[in-house]
Structure 1
Amino acid sequence: MNSPKNANAPAPLAGWQFALGTFAVALATFMNVLDSSIANVAIPTLSGDLGVSVDEGTWVITVFSAANAVSIPLTGWLTQRVGEVKLFVAAILLFVVSSAACGIAPNLMVLLAARIVQGAVAGPLVPLSQALLLKSFPRDKSSSALSLWAMTATVGPIAGPALGGWITDNYSWSWIFYINVPVGIFAAAVIWALYRQRETPSRKLPVDKVGLLSLVVWVGALQVMLDKGKDLAWYESSTIWILSIVALVGFLFFLIWELTESKPIIDLRLFAGRNFMGGTVAISVAYAIFFANLVILPTWIQEYLGYRAVDAGLVTAPLGIFAVILAPVMGKIMPKSDPRVLATLAFLGFAGVFFMRSFYVTDVDPYTLVMPTLLQGIPMALFFTPLTAIILSGLPPEKIPAAAGLSNFVRVFAGAVGTSLLSNTWNNRTILHHSQLAEQTGATNPNYVQALANIETTLHASLFKAQAFFETQLGAQAAMLGLNDVFWLSAVIFVVIIPLVWVTKPTKDGASSAAGAGGH
């Protein structure tokens, strides 16, 4: 339906302006989502160059995700305060500056600070890119606009590991951030030139400062607790206890404040709707498992299989083949299908892929590594659109922007939490398997003695070197068994969350309302 406000909106772009504007907006989106995963395969190299452990290096990913999660729900308020086009261009330029700061960072602390800024300013880019992209298209082509956006958003995280690996191997990890500078400047210049006359009105609005502060406190405390828990032996450390208490108290205060505040920064009352609740929890848990494995897999491939960063990235790159091919098809299937069925098929597909991976061995061949990744592109194509339709179905138009922002906030933050939790699970299971395997390495075990003798003979090594070599092999085997446990657990979780989809009851206009609201 066209409202009077929409009737007075500028006409869509046409000709070369249409093509250039669409490309620039999509490029800004690509730059943002690319940075959510481009650092994944560079973590081992980056950590070595900065003199920190790989576990500390993963903060580069998690702080970006956490800061991004905090800033996403502020997009609606900032848009009304600043204006859509000004906010989008400012966010791009700040993203460029923070990217350059990441590249020149002399130590981990400076890099993390720059990544926090980068993640925070990236928050408005995704929802605003949808809005501007829809304005580039005629109304009857809005589904094509969202399909293009979905393809851009899908390719970014997939291309990230391959591109990041190639850059890391051939140049320096700093260049995974430097490449944002020319891309961002070009996108910002084009968008400002073509869209500045289409600026939305701005007005001074109050901000829920208490709600915002409590959000930052509990999210920050929880993320640091998850990241440092393993290094500090979890609850043997007073620091972890303090962070846990701060996170819990902050979260409870945040809930009470937001539910009683007349103009909350986040409208938590949306969770009263079963469609929103079921869909948001389902998409968030699924995204957490998906994104965490996207971080863990390249790390294992490099550390234990000896792959170069670029090769580790190429192993994950086939994820995009089916995802890109099937993305436009989803626009045609959605109006004729029950989104719950599509989401269920996606979860079963993810479960099948992770079950396949749970049988990896230490000498796994490239084909066995790549095949599950290739097949994973199919459930990826069935993932976002149906669940978004479920989340937004049945909501009144005035509630859809807040619902979209809140569901995205929960999803992105779940990705950061999921990465920490699954990384810790992998570490704990690796320690357990190492302990169990080490029990079989006593001098009274004839198999162990024979294995050492074979190593001494084959490598012409001393007993000490043979024992060191055996320990390395044992560690690799323990890590493999721990990772298999993570894959198996991931498969189980995808099956377990399927009922969340079926507690929802999508309305007939669910898909269309989701598509229509995607950019607003």
Structure 2
Amino acid sequence: MSNAHESVAERTTPAAIWAGFAMMCTGMFMAILDVQVVATSLPTIQSALDIEPDQMSWVQTAYLIAEVIAIPLTGALTRVLSMRWLFVLALTVFTMASIGCAASSSFSMLICSRVVQGFSGGTLIPSVFTAVFVLFPVRHQGIATTLAGVLAVLAPTVGPIVGGWITETYSWHWLFLINVLPGMVAVLFAAMLLPRDHMRLKELLWLDLVSLSLMAASLAALEIALKEAPQDGWSSRLILSLLTLSFTCAVVFVVRTLRASRPVVDLRNFADRNFTIGCILSFVLGIGLFGSVYLMPVFLAFVRDHNALEIGVIMLATGLTQLLTAPIAVALEQRIGARVLTAAGFCVFAIGLGLSSLQTPQTDYEGMFWPQIVRGLAIMFCLLPPTRLALGRLSPAQVADASGLFNLMRNLGGAIGIALIDTVIYLRSPIHADALTARLQAGDVLAATFVGIPLDQFASRPAGQLDPDTQALLQSLVEKAALVQAINEAWAMIAALTVVALLCVPFAKTCEIRAYWRRKA
């Protein structure tokens, strides 16, 4: 298969390859952006379709479950359809599903369209990273990876401002209709420009449907458990049952897959030490990326009372810093070892996460600016070198499966990270509220300053005591302050996990990538 890809790439002009790859990046950007723009406007969609409040989160969950199932299947689908036709078909279905979402007149219709949208969109991300190592020579792979990486992490950053602007300017239908025109253009040009390869439909005869079902059941049960665990409790019967189902299906899937001659997902890639370490780093990066994009809107909406558009404007600092850092990351990646850059990137990223754990209820744009800048400086170094570390030593025939697993780890990290964050917020906020109330009743000036009570009013109370009526008036301030403390603990948690990830970097092999690829050629 590698020789076929190499000969196909040789028959395509470099300009056409870059243009086709740009179309693939466009499709990937749309798929990632779609999640965030919809998240900002869930209340609007809920009101328009008269959806029960406790059912509203399924608009996002249905997409994410379908996406996480599709991601590891990208390798098998690439072998069957070829990289070119998989992308064209997936983006076509994604665009049509977007139209279906916009045309939905009921909750069930919207959910069905979101499932189709999520499954088709899930194949676009790993397809792009597969293309980096299949289409380009090693000297261009850093630039291609950076282009894909910038768009992959920029989409969640600009998502809130795009979603907020659309919701306030147009109707919620345009949250989905914005995918149509770029989707049609990308499909048309990708079909013409991407290297042509033969489809292998006979591979479908060897598709292990049992393994496929086990993988789908395991991932779906895990996603649902992670979604419900913060509210229901990790020890509830429902969560334990879902986690048990997920683990059992996963074990049977792994055993069956390792024995298969033509596995649905080639888990033997984990035998490569660098790939395994790269996946660990991708998992932890997912916790930090998804966690930070989740925590900032929660803080800005529930503590600072900003709307979606204002939140998007504040969060632009990270995305703009990433864009400015990208050329530097490309230049350094060509000159400095992946291990050194990875360690530096995760170290700086952890510092940026840790700085956000110092927020107060009064923190706003100015206080959030520098932590965002620090994280923006680090993100490309947390993405580009680990991607090279994980996929750069593999043959083109291995890359499609490996890319799916690599990207799956990032998404799973994000899902688990958000579940842990929600758990911290749900469990710790009431505890902090009780502690703050006790400190205020004891006359603690520092607590009053943190909560935001005017000191002259606080000091005028005899012995600093607050009567019940005043406590009722200040309840909102105390609850917001308690939420801030819980959010700060969540920031500190993901910062600590990022530091722990550094421990595996020294175990990566220090091989000369250029020499390796010259030997492969």
TM-score (norm 1): 0.85
Matched, 1:72 2:71: yes
Note the C-alpha offset of 1:215: 0.8
Report the Cα offset of residue 130 of structure 1. Answer: 5.0
* 2: CA distance, partners of 1:11 / 1:290: 38
Q: Percent identity of the aligned residues?
A: 26
Letter in 2 for 1:224: I
Counterpart in the other structure of 1:460:
none
- Structure 1 match to 2:288: 289
Instruction: Compute the displacement of 1:490 (Å).
Output: 1.5
Contact 1:65 1:416 in 2 (8 A): no
Alpha-carbon distance between aligned partners in 1 of 2:14 and 2:266, rounded to the nearest angstrom: 38
| Residue equivalent to 2:493 | 489
Question: Partner residue of 1:317?
Answer: 316
Larger CA deviation: 389-398 vs 216-225:
389-398
What is the 5 A alignment of 1:283-362?
Answer: 283-362=282-361
TM-score (norm 2): 0.85
Contact 1:211/1:258 (<8 A) preserved = yes
What is the CA distance between 1:310 and its match in structure 2? 0.6
List runs of 5+ in structure 1 lacking aligned partners. Answer: 458-462
After superposition, the Cα gap between the structure-2 partners of 1:506 and 1:407, relative to the gap in structure 1 and judged at 3 Å, is farther
Amino acid at match of 2:479: G
Pairing 1:224–2:228 present: no
Give the counterpart letter for 1:207 in structure 2. Answer: L
The answer (yes or no) to whether the contact 1:12–1:136 under 8 Å persists in 2 is no
Contact 2:150 2:380 in 1 (8 A): no
Taking a change above 3 Å as real, the CA distance of residues 133 and 499 of structure 1, as seen in their structure-2 partners, is closer
* Deviations 1:319-358, CA, capped at 9 Å, x for gaps: 1222112223333322321211111111111111111111
Partner of 1:202: 200
Distance in 2 of aligned mates of 1:47 and 1:465: 36
Corresponding residue for residue 173 of structure 2: 174
Change (3 A) 1:14 1:284: closer
* Counterparts of 1:167 and 1:302, CA distance in 2: 18
Q: Which runs of 5+ in 2 are unaligned?
A: 461-466
In the TM superposition, residue 221 of structure 1 has moved relative to its aligned partner by 0.9
- The one-letter amino acid paired with 2:410 is R
Instruction: Look up the match of 1:240.
Output: 239
**CA separation of 1:166/1:408 partners in 2, compared to 1, >3 Å: closer, same or farther?**
same
Residues 101-112 of structure 1 correspond to what in structure 2 (within 5 A)? Answer: 101-106=100-105, 110-112=109-111
In structure 1, the residue matched to 2:464 is none
- For the residues of structure 2 that align with 1:101 and 1:465, how far apart are their CA atoms? 52
Any idea what the Cα deviations from partners look like across 1:73-100, whole Å, max 9, x if unmatched?
2122222322333321221121112223
CA distance in 1, matches of 2:191, 2:410: 30
Q: Which amino acid aligns with 2:488?
A: N
Q: Following the alignment from structure 1 to structure 2, what is the Cα–Cα distance between the partners of residues 230 and 268?
A: 31
Say if 2:352 and 2:372, in contact at 8 Å, map to a contact too: yes
Does structure 1 retain, via aligned residues, the 8 Å contact 2:142–2:384? no
Aligned partners of 1:19, 1:278: CA distance in 2, in Å? Answer: 29
Q: Which amino acid aligns with 1:216?
A: A
Paired residue for 2:478?
A: 474
CA separation in 2, counterparts of 1:282 and 1:171?
Answer: 40
- Structure 1 position 119, deviation (Å): 1.6
Equivalent pair of 2:76/2:265 in contact (CA under 8 Å):
no
CA contact (8 A) 1:94 1:121 kept: yes
Query: Displacement, 1:124?
Result: 2.1
Report the CA distance between 1:193 and its aligned residue: 4.1
TM-align CA RMSD:
3.6
- 3-state SS in 2 of match to 1:383: helix
* Residue 340 to residue 73, structure 1, CA distance change in 2 (3 Å): same
Whole-angstrom CA distance in 2 between matches of 1:133 and 1:330: 16
Give the paired residue count: 505
Q: Give, as a single letter, the amino acid of the residue that structure 2 aligns with 1:228.
A: E
8 Å Cα contact 2:275-2:390 kept in structure 1: yes
**SS of residue matched to 1:198:** coil
Structure 1 position 213, deviation (Å): 0.6
2:463 is matched with none
Deviation at residue 312 of structure 1 after TM alignment? 0.5
* Maintained 8 Å contact 1:59/1:227: no
Contact 1:393 1:510 in 2 (8 A): no
In structure 2, C-alpha distance between the alignment counterparts of 1:181 and 1:465, rounded to whole Å? 55
Distance apart, 1:393 and its partner CA: 4.7
Residues 50, 366 of structure 1: alpha-carbon distance in 2 compared, 3 angstrom cutoff: farther
TM superposition shift of 1:304 = 2.1
Q: Does 1:503 align with 2:507?
A: yes
1:375–1:18 Cα change, 3 Å: same
Deviation, 1:14, is: 7.2
- Structure 1 equivalent of residue 385 of structure 2: 386
Q: Distance in 2 between matches of 1:497 and 1:5?
A: 34
Shift of 1:477: 1.0
CA contact under 8 A between 1:47 and 1:56: conserved in structure 2? no
Over 3 Å counting, the alpha-carbon distance change for 1:63 and 1:421 in structure 2 is farther
